[in-house]
Amino acid sequence: MSLKALIFDVDGTLAETEELHREAFNEVFATAGHGWHWDKDLYRRLLTVTGGKERIRHFLDTAGIDAGPDAEAAIAALHAAKNSLYASKVAAGVTLRPGILRLMREAMAAGLQLAIATTTSRSNLDALLGSAFGADEAMEFAAIVTGEDVGRKKPDPEAYRLALERLRRRADECVAFEDSRNGVRAAQGAGLPVVVTPGIYTDHENFDEAECVVSDLGEPGRPLRHLAGWRPAGGVIDLAALREMSAGV
């Protein structure tokens, strides 16, 4: 079956945004008067829990912190404040990871669909897309699935199944792009082959099940580093490489 669509995760996959998220969490905690600080090692562990509110709740539970009788409302308020702060940080400028824009442009020119399957919030996604692509880059996404659209977040495959439904595509017509093991499990649970570009907070994870693991998607004159799985020729992930990979899956 020919390749029809590319489905992208967001944080860590489109851009290295996780450090901005961590900074925003810590600033909001400080402003609220909480003595909580998520250092990089702790945040790396917390990222195994998908979803910002879920991450806060997990942190409180494992640290034995009582958030009071209105814990859920307090968590929601912290998360909303963090998202607002994150949006302002992203608006100051964010750079897409190598090869992302090149591949998206190539896909659109060839008539392929682009889609997003993320468990981040829609406000976070809009902030990132607005900053990364800008008004002059007419990037068209045929389907967008965010954390508000699903009842179960990654590693559950619901986000990818919904993206396939909205695209009206079968899994064997698409390729997913992820940066985390949770994301790989979600995509493969929906039957999708996965290209993994580990991020700064996920480069220690096990991606043995992924079809292809590379440092990034590569650029002409700046080749990717092959890490595991199927090896693309030419030093970049382009449509020709993805079609070759898909044919062998």
Q: Are residues 12 and 22 in the same domain?
A: no
DSSP bridge partners of 213: 196, 228
Segment 104-130 mean pLDDT: 94
Q: Are residues 71 and 161 in the same domain?
A: no
Residue 176 contacts residue 193 (beta carbons within 8 Å): yes
- The tens digit of pLDDT for each residue in 139-183 reads 889 999 999 999 999 999 999 999 999 999 999 999 999 999 999
Q: Are residues 207 and 84 in the same domain?
A: no
| Single-letter amino acid, residue 115 | A
- The whole-number pLDDT of residue 66 equals 87
Q: Are residues 76 and 104 in the same domain?
A: no
pLDDT band for position 69 (cuts 50, 70, 90): confident
Segment 218-239 mean pLDDT: 96
Q: How many domains does the structure of the chain reveal? A: 2
Q: Is the pLDDT of residue 57 over 90?
A: yes
Q: Are residues 79 and 179 in the same domain?
A: no
Domain span holding position 100: 5-17+95-248
Residue 170 contacts residue 189 (beta carbons within 8 Å): no
Q: Is the pLDDT of residue 138 over 90?
A: no
Q: Are residues 72 and 33 in the same domain?
A: yes
Read off φ and ψ for residue 25, nearest 5 degrees: -55, -50
Domain end point (choices 31, 56, 91): 91
Residue 240 contacts residue 110 (beta carbons within 8 Å): no
Mean pLDDT in the chain?
Answer: 94
Segment 91-101 mean pLDDT: 92
Q: Are residues 197 and 152 in the same domain?
A: yes
Q: Is the pLDDT of residue 79 over 70?
A: yes
| Catalytic residue annotation | 9, 11
Residue with tokens 């190539």: 106
Q: 19 burial class (0-12, 13-18, 19+ CB within 10 angstroms)?
A: middle
Q: Are residues 70 and 99 in the same domain?
A: no
Residue 120 contacts residue 150 (beta carbons within 8 Å): no
The enclosing domain of 39 has a CATH number of 1.10.150.240
Domain end point (choices 41, 59, 91): 91
Domain end point (choices 45, 67, 91): 91
Please state which of the ranges 85-94, 208-217, 223-232 shows the lowest mean pLDDT: 85-94
d(CA 99, CA 105): 10
Q: Extract the tokens encoding 33.
A: 């008067």
pTM: 0.92
Q: Are residues 106 and 165 in the same domain?
A: yes
- The whole-number pLDDT of residue 137 equals 67
The enclosing domain of 122 has a CATH number of 3.40.50.1000
63 CB-side CA count, 13 A: 15
- The whole-number pLDDT of residue 136 equals 60
Q: Are residues 123 and 205 in the same domain?
A: yes
Q: Are residues 231 and 108 in the same domain?
A: yes
pLDDT band for position 91 (cuts 50, 70, 90): confident
Q: Are residues 43 and 53 in the same domain?
A: yes
Residue 236 contacts residue 99 (beta carbons within 8 Å): yes
- The whole-number pLDDT of residue 198 equals 97
pLDDT band for position 249 (cuts 50, 70, 90): low
Read off φ and ψ for residue 214, nearest 5 degrees: -135, 160
- The whole-number pLDDT of residue 12 equals 93
d(CA 104, CA 101): 5
